[in-house]
Structure 1
């Protein structure tokens, strides 16, 4: 129903966002942001749900977009900010039992693609890929209203596409795209280069972050600029592989690395994209849904089911 009230959650490794929404009207009221307590996630979500229920009076369902590997209502794996892995959190069944409400949980990258399809730049396109470039790299794919999930719900793990030398890896995959071009990957890759090369630069490998690299290049550091060019070559290979695999009509980009550095990332990759992509490279756009994309992605399936004209 278009006037349903849905409790929405966007759960990342670092932050947990929550809000109320309805399929036709989009988000209603303010978005609440707090640090994610992965070790106490069920109680954290339940507590926020009770607060939302007090505000709304009546809630019809709970919908969650969550980082990590999702199987039905269970979080099979989720990373902490310290790069540890927490496994087997039965979030959906637990919240259903405590609240007596139906609960839907979607992987955050898939939710991002759904958000673009219903509320964002993907409206009017037959096929949309949303790239989330943050601590890691992931994607969601929506084709003619259908979500690509795979046999176990792990389709579009594009960050594990092998596009670089095998010296660096992610999740055991040598040469993985995210080992070079995610937030964690950029920091590690550049730190390794600094250790191997003797070059004059303001970059300090100790405690280096991806933001440091982008800021140094913007300030005119030639070494940082050179390293971002190398990273741009890997991004061209990764984006080209996505184009070859899914032939999307649109690619949108978000995430803690992809959104703030969108122009820098795309412009460094663009001259080389034709070398890696067989189909025509589609438009590549920065998401306009911002940090709320997970909440919109959690709401999108309800809008699709109700068939209403969705409003961001």
Structure 2
């Protein structure tokens, strides 16, 4: 719940900026993740970075009209990668065309005189789930996005791990099979099998073969309908008991289990938090995933690791950006 009554707001305030290819948001909150203001707007990437950044500036200046400027401690930015968190650069994210080497941290610090930091959206999501959500209280945690793509944010020994040049956690690029749906530019990758786009590819190829062999598919009756298949189509049908859809889900769960086993064996985490598709379909995926984990993961490492759905849901973008400022 957002409380924008100035008298009820604590002394120290933090700003979170969430930059997305479709929507952007600016939030104002405190160290306990209480939100006091939220402004969101459509990105409209064709406007270019300068116009969009100016909109962020305008929104932040509106906060200063309501709250004492001295109370603002830090700004956190969450944005899709690639980026350079040490230099504060956004480096050509695929969902933000034209954002090439944008020195966002320098721009915001010059405008507002407030310490600013940036993390990619997977790391920011990991921070939020670790500080507030399903991974709260752990020292070693992995957060998997499992949405349109597959990426990870890693909390190791109580600290975010970004890697040498912000490529830590790019688990979607792991090759789990020699062939398969394409994700992260690689056939048979973790992202290929375990992402919205990858599941759609897998479903389309499966359905095409069945229809060409005159086999019935309840959720897609003709070849002309194949292009409309999405991951949501598959899971909706699977929840109704459709055999073809359940077969596709089983393949996804098998490779999710294999990918998780690698993370468990390498990182020995206390907790793996999985967002988006897993959160919505845990009942279908969890039993199948654990069948694989019991075969693939080191038993002692699996015993101390819990696999849980993300807790913050649709609000994770707001909390993630704020978490970057707080962490």
Q: Residue in 2 aligned with 1:35?
A: 42
Q: Residue in 1 aligned with 2:323?
A: 300
SS of residue matched to 1:89? coil
TM-score (norm: length of structure 1): 0.86
SS of residue matched to 1:294? helix
Please, which runs of 5 or more residues in structure 1 have no aligned partner? 305-312
Which has the greater radius of gyration?
2
For residues 85 and 193 of structure 1, what CA distance do their matches in structure 2 show? 37
1:221 is the counterpart of 2:242: yes
Identify the match of residue 287 of structure 1 among 300, 304, 310.
Answer: 310
- Structure 1 residues 303 and 63: CA distance shift in structure 2, 3 A: closer
Identify the match of residue 90 of structure 2 among 75, 83, 100.
Answer: 75
SS of residue matched to 2:41? strand
Q: Residue in 2 aligned with 1:239?
A: 260
SS of residue matched to 2:135? coil
1:120 is the counterpart of 2:133: yes
SS of residue matched to 2:179? coil
TM-score (norm: length of structure 2): 0.82
Q: Residue in 2 aligned with 1:187?
A: 200
For residues 123 and 142 of structure 2, what CA distance do their matches in structure 1 show? 9
For residues 56 and 28 of structure 1, what CA distance do their matches in structure 2 show? 14
For this pair of structures, how many residues does the alignment match?
A: 299
For residues 269 and 220 of structure 1, what CA distance do their matches in structure 2 show? 18
Structure showing the higher strand proportion among its residues: 1
Report the CA distance between 1:10 and its aligned residue.
2.3
Q: For each residue in 1:152-204, what CA deviation from the matched residue of structure 2 results, as whole angstroms up to 9, or x when unmatched?
A: 01101111111133343333333211112101111122112222333311234
- Structure 1 residues 220 and 55: CA distance shift in structure 2, 3 A: farther
For residues 187 and 263 of structure 2, what CA distance do their matches in structure 1 show? 18
Give the aligned CA root-mean-square deviation in angstroms: 2.4
Q: Residue in 2 aligned with 1:263?
A: 283
- Structure 1 residues 114 and 174: CA distance shift in structure 2, 3 A: same
- Structure 1 residues 272 and 167: CA distance shift in structure 2, 3 A: closer
The more displaced of 217-226 and 287-296 is 287-296
Please, which runs of 5 or more residues in structure 2 have no aligned partner? 1-9
For residues 98 and 229 of structure 2, what CA distance do their matches in structure 1 show? 22
Identify the match of residue 107 of structure 2 among 90, 94, 105.
Answer: 94
SS of residue matched to 2:101? strand
- Structure 1 residues 143 and 3: CA distance shift in structure 2, 3 A: farther
1:44 is the counterpart of 2:52: no
**Contact 1:79–1:85 under 8 Å retained in 2:** no
Structure showing the higher helix proportion among its residues: 2
For residues 94 and 106 of structure 1, what CA distance do their matches in structure 2 show? 16
1:169-184 superposed matches below 5 A: 169-184=182-197
Q: Residue in 2 aligned with 1:309?
A: none
Report the CA distance between 1:134 and its aligned residue.
0.8
